[in-house]
Amino acid sequence: MLTYIARRLAIGLLMLVALSMLVFVLLRLAPGDPIDAYINPNVAMSQAEMAALRARLGFDQPLPIQYLAWLRAAVTGDLGYSIQKNGVKVLPLVLERVGPTVLLMFLALVIAIVGGIAAGIISAVQRNSATDVGCSVAAFVGISSPPFLTAILGLYVFSVVLRWSPSGGMLTPGTPFSLSDLLSHLVLPACLLSIGHAALIMRYMRASLLEVLNQDYVRTARAKGVKELWVIIKHATRNALLPVVTLIGSSIGMAVGGAIFMESVFNWPGMGLLLVNAVDTRDYPVIMGATLIIGACVILVNILTDVAYALVDPRIRVA
């Protein structure tokens, strides 16, 4: 197991380097000159001053040299300085946004996992019933709804029309911190973010459980007189969870993309909002730093998901 984890970590490190290289190149290939982001448009600069600034920032070097210089600094934890925030270091700027994003994604995934698995079990047990049809229709609608549309509609219905939830932010400005205030701001974006993932988990759980319920060992348990509820919980559900665990691991990466839309719409102070603002202002160091941290988190979660396979199904042994 330790050898497998070490091998996956090494592969994950190579993937992270490849990701940073791809983002670095794409940023440099974007229209416009990167030096423009460092120049105050209200202050006139001569060509000599611009050339000196370009040389100081390393933009006069070939692209591979620029990337290697950034990578050498990133390995030591130096991700540079934000352009738009008066020289604030990128690493602490990104890390202070990790907490809100993790909180939002964690609650959304908990809602999606609990709700999706429960709906999948109910739908499979009551196959072809009105409940099954209703759950399937709801799942198809959830899968088909893009996160940005879900966020905008949810904000309009629950915050503007019904006024059940605050329209944005993480806390109410000017009031002392309280858990109830935090939850009132958190619940709506978390529920909206969980819709698509819950729908996918429900479909996977239903299909997997239907397949398991037709296995010989389930019929044997029923023939021995085991109660149906115990058959479903002990014998069927655990063995049906393996594809769902796979989906949950991949959902972390997809939740990052959805969180970017949710944080933008609800002004949630996480990494997604930071990344959107950095792209809007062409803050290259922040874009690179946020992408690196997000990529590292996604890769780490995928490794943990692979290790969890053996815990969910004892028949699996990591090769």
Range of the domain at 212: 90-282+297-312
Among the candidates 27, 50, 75, a domain finishes at 75
pLDDT class of 58 with cuts at 50, 70, 90:
confident
Q: Quick one: what percent of the chain has pLDDT higher than 90?
A: 5
State residue 149's pLDDT score.
86
Lowest mean pLDDT among 172-176, 191-195, 217-221: 217-221
State residue 196's pLDDT score.
87
Compute the distance between CA of residue 189 and CA of residue 153 in angstroms, rounded to an integer.
Answer: 11
Instruction: Mark whether 70 and 100 lie in a shared domain.
Output: no
pLDDT, tens digit, 9 for 90 and up, residues 89-121? 888 988 888 889 889 988 998 999 899 989 988
Q: Are 205 and 238 in contact (CB under 8 A)?
A: no
Number of domains in the chain: 2
Question: What CATH number is associated with residue 203?
Answer: 1.10.3720.10
State residue 313's pLDDT score.
56
Instruction: Mark whether 227 and 170 lie in a shared domain.
Output: yes
Q: Are 36 and 282 in contact (CB under 8 A)?
A: yes
State residue 219's pLDDT score.
78
Using alpha carbons, select from 176, 165, 144, 129 the residue that is nearest to residue 266.
165
User: Is 289 inside any structural domain?
Assistant: no
Instruction: Mark whether 22 and 119 lie in a shared domain.
Output: no
pLDDT class of 18 with cuts at 50, 70, 90:
very high
Instruction: Mark whether 277 and 224 lie in a shared domain.
Output: yes
User: Is 84 inside any structural domain?
Assistant: no
**Looking at residue 151, what DSSP letter applies?**
H
Compute the distance between CA of residue 175 and CA of residue 167 in angstroms, rounded to an integer.
Answer: 16
Model confidence at 178: pLDDT above 70: yes
Lowest mean pLDDT among 5-14, 43-52, 78-87, 118-127: 43-52
Instruction: Mark whether 37 and 96 lie in a shared domain.
Output: no
Which residues fall within 8 angstroms of residue 300, CB to CB, at 6 or more apart? Answer: 12
Instruction: Mark whether 125 and 199 lie in a shared domain.
Output: yes
Q: Quick one: what percent of the chain has pLDDT higher than 70?
A: 95
What value does the mean pLDDT take over residues 247-251?
Answer: 74
State residue 187's pLDDT score.
92
User: Is 292 inside any structural domain?
Assistant: no
Instruction: Mark whether 56 and 204 lie in a shared domain.
Output: no
Model confidence at 319: pLDDT above 60: no
User: Is 263 inside any structural domain?
Assistant: yes
From residue 168, alpha-carbon distances to 37, 143, 189 in Å are 29, 25, 9
Among the candidates 17, 49, 75, a domain finishes at 75
Kindly write down the DSSP assignment for every residue of 21-67, as one continuous string: HHHHHHHHHSSS-GGGGGS-TTS---HHHHHHHHHHHTTTS-HHHHH
Instruction: Mark whether 272 and 135 lie in a shared domain.
Output: yes
Instruction: Mark whether 238 and 272 lie in a shared domain.
Output: yes
pLDDT class of 316 with cuts at 50, 70, 90:
low
Using alpha carbons, select from 255, 245, 272, 280 the residue that is nearest to residue 37.
280
pLDDT, tens digit, 9 for 90 and up, residues 65-98? 989 988 898 888 888 888 888 778 888 988 888 8
Model confidence at 317: pLDDT above 60: no
User: Is 85 inside any structural domain?
Assistant: no
Compute the distance between CA of residue 256 and CA of residue 97 in angstroms, rounded to an integer.
Answer: 13
State residue 212's pLDDT score.
84
User: Is 82 inside any structural domain?
Assistant: no
Helices marked H in the chain — which ranges? 2-29, 47-57, 63-75, 90-125, 130-144, 147-154, 179-213, 216-223, 228-230, 238-266, 271-281, 284-312
Among the candidates 75, 106, 132, a domain finishes at 75
Lowest mean pLDDT among 93-97, 173-177, 186-190, 221-225: 221-225
State residue 315's pLDDT score.
57
Instruction: Mark whether 126 and 267 lie in a shared domain.
Output: yes
Model confidence at 295: pLDDT above 70: yes
Based on the number of CB atoms within 10 Å of its own CB, is 243 exposed (0-12), middle (13-18) or buried (19 or more)? Answer: middle
Model confidence at 215: pLDDT above 60: yes
User: Is 134 inside any structural domain?
Assistant: yes
Instruction: Mark whether 100 and 221 lie in a shared domain.
Output: yes
Instruction: Mark whether 69 and 170 lie in a shared domain.
Output: no
